[in-house]
Each structure stands twice: as structure tokens, then as C-alpha cells.
């Protein structure tokens, strides 16, 4: 179900033209570890990296933006806080947790933010089994 390492290789290949590739490799390793920890504990439908890390515009001060799509009966903000608290905070991270239904409703409303994440974000994890 988990295909993080292949995605990290693809992301690094996309960013190969940036001068400080060692910085990016370290950042992608951190992102990979964080996504793997979330996937192992919460078994989400998807984890999508978005923002500057996904677009190739990241620098040493960039945060990590993740959309975690999962089924839950709990308030999604509460799950976001719980995930943030379980992760190591050596890189700033913003975690947006939404249910599949919430994402679908936002897309039906024409929400550009979610459309942009789904169209341009990098799927780090997708549950397919």
C-alpha cells in the first residue's frame, strides 16, 4: 500500500536542477518519515504534499504542508493536532486533515484551494488495498 520511496525519488529528480540538492534530499527524507508515521498510525486514504515543497520552490526555511484524507468520526481539527503532536518538529509542518466527504464537498463547491492540492500536489501515500 505504501509507495513513499518511489515518490521521493521522483520528487528529487524533479528538483535536480536546484543547486543545494543535499538540503532537498534531507527535507524529502524528513517528509518521507513523517508521511510513513502518519500512514502507519492512521491508515489514511491519501497523504498529499502541497505548497512549496511540492512545487519545487522550497528553501531551508520552508514548512511542510500535508493534506491527510481519512475516514474519522472525530473532529478533523482534533486529529490534525494529534498528528502534529506525535511528529518530530525539526521542520515546521502544517497538517490539514479532511474526510473524503469533506474534500468532495469542497470540490463540488468549486474550492480552488483543494482543487489545486489535488491537481498539483504530490501523493506521498495512497491506500489501495
Find all residues with CB under 8 Å of 124, minimum gap 6, and list them: 4, 7, 31, 32, 35, 47, 48, 49, 66
Secondary structure element (H or E) that encloses residue 42, with its range: helix 21-42
- 110: pLDDT strictly greater than 90: yes
DSSP state of 62: -
83: confidence class by pLDDT, cuts 50, 70, 90: very high
**Which CATH number covers residue 39?**
3.30.460.10
Model confidence band, residue 16 (pLDDT cutoffs 50, 70, 90): very low
- According to the model, what pLDDT value does residue 129 have? 59
Chain centroid offset of residue 22 CA: 20
Which are the contacts of 63, defined by CB distance < 8 A and separation ≥ 6? 51, 52, 53, 91, 92, 93, 94
Q: What is the residue range of 53's domain?
A: 4-126
Rounded to two decimals, the pTM is 0.80
Total domains, the chain: 1
pLDDT at 8: 52
DSSP string, the chain: ---HHHHHHHHHHHTTTSS-HHHHHHHHHHHHHHHHHHHHHH--SEEEEETHHHHT---TT--EEEEEE---SS-HHHHHHHHHHHS--SS-EEEEEE-HHHHHHHHHTT-HHHHHHHHHSEEEEE---
pLDDT 10s digits, 26-79: 778 888 888 999 999 999 999 999 998 888 787 777 888 999 999 999 999 999
Greater confidence, 76 or 127?
76
Amino acid at each position: 500500500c505504501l509507495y513513499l520511496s518511489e515518490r521521493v525519488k521522483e520528487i528529487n529528480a524533479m528538483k535536480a536542477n536546484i543547486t543545494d540538492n543535499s538540503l532537498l534530499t534531507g527535507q524529502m527524507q524528513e517528509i518521507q518519515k513523517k508521511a510513513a508515521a502518519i500512514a502507519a498510525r492512521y491508515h489514511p486514504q491519501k497523504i498529499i504534499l502541497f505548497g512549496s515543497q511540492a512545487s519545487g520552490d522550497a528553501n531551508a526555511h520552508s514548512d511542510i504542508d500535508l493534506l491527510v484524507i481519512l475516514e474519522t468520526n472525530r473532529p478533523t481539527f482534533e486529529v490534525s493536532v494529534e498528528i502534529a503532536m506525535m511528529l518530530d518538529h525539526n521542520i515546521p509542518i502544517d497538517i490539514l486533515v479532511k474526510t473524503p466527504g469533506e474534500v468532495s464537498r469542497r470540490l463540488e463547491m468549486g474550492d480552488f484551494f483543494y482543487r489545486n492540492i489535488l491537481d498539483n500536489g504530490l501523493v506521498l501515500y495512497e491506500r489501495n488495498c
